[in-house]
Amino acid sequence: MVRKKESYVVAVVGATGAVGEEMVSILEERSFPVRELRLFASERSRGKKMAFRGDEITIETLDEDSFKGIDIALFSAGGERSKRWAPVAARSGCVVVDNSSAWRMDPEVPLVVPEVNPHDIGRHKGIIANPNCSTIQMVMVLKPVHDAARVKRVVVTTFQSVSGTGKKAMDELLTQTSDLLNFREIRCEVYPHQIAFNCLPHIDAFLEDGYTKEEMKMVNETRKIMGDDSIRVTATTVRVPVFRSHSESVNIETERKLTANEARALLAAFPGVVVFDAPEKNVYPLPVDVAGKDEVYVGRVREDNSIECGINVWIVADNLRKGAALNAVQIAERLIE
The count of C-alpha atoms lying within 13 angstroms of the C-alpha of 50, restricted to the half-sphere facing its C-beta, is: 24
Q: In angstroms, how far is CA 241 from the centroid of its own chain?
A: 19
Residue 202 is a catalytic residue: no
Q: Which of 94, 124, 146, 246 is catalytic?
A: 246
Strand partners, 250: 156, 313
DSSP 8-state assignment for residue 295: S
Within 10 A of 306 (CB to CB), how many other CB atoms are there?
8
Residue 246 is a catalytic residue: yes
DSSP 8-state assignment for residue 322: I
Q: In angstroms, how far is CA 139 from the centroid of its own chain?
A: 11
32 in Cβ contact with 89 (< 8 Å): no
- The span from the CA of 311 to the CA of 270, in Å, is 17
Strand partners, 246: 317
Nearby residues of 16 by Cβ (< 8 Å), 6 or more positions away: 41, 42, 45, 48, 50, 59
β strands within the chain, DSSP E: 8-13, 34-40, 49-52, 55-60, 72-75, 95-98, 127-129, 151-160, 232-239, 246-254, 273-275, 296-303, 310-317
Nearby residues of 152 by Cβ (< 8 Å), 6 or more positions away: 230, 231, 232, 253, 254, 255, 309
Q: Which of 94, 124, 133, 146 is catalytic?
A: 133
191 in Cβ contact with 200 (< 8 Å): yes
Nearby residues of 261 by Cβ (< 8 Å), 6 or more positions away: none
List the catalytic residues: 133, 246
